[in-house]
Amino acid sequence: MPDQRRQIVREYHFERDLRTLIRDAKEADEFVEAAEFVLARDPEIGLRIAPDSDVWVLPMAPVRGVQISLYYTFDESTVWLISIAKL
């Protein structure tokens, strides 16, 4: 069976939130690349934010000692990264 990968789309709010957390663009992109890799292959690895919600959350590694969560939604072909925030 071929490796099914979804396209990753970073929404405007996600990019803005990411740059607020990590100012250096290269460092910010590297921080998110592992999550993009995993979500493109298995977006159900995260947790729904509510039982019937289309929005999911993926806990991320801490940034400067603060826990981070990535919020996203997906369909059969695409994962949309909606937001990334401190908890």
Domain range annotation of the chain: 7-86
Question: In 3D, which of 38, 31, 37, 16 has the Cα closest to residue 83?
Answer: 16
Amino acid 1: pLDDT: 38
d(CA 10, CA 83): 9
pLDDT digits (tens, 9 = 90+) for 52-82: 999 999 999 998 899 999 999 999 999 999 9
Amino acid 11: pLDDT: 98
The token duo for 42 is: 């298995």
pTM: 0.92
Which amino acid is located at 83 in the chain? S
The pLDDT of 17-27, averaged and rounded, is: 94
**CATH number of 7-86: 3.20.20.10, 3.30.2310.20, 3.10.180.10, 3.30.1280.10?**
3.30.2310.20
Question: In 3D, which of 86, 82, 83, 81 has the Cα closest to residue 36?
Answer: 81
d(CA 58, CA 16): 18
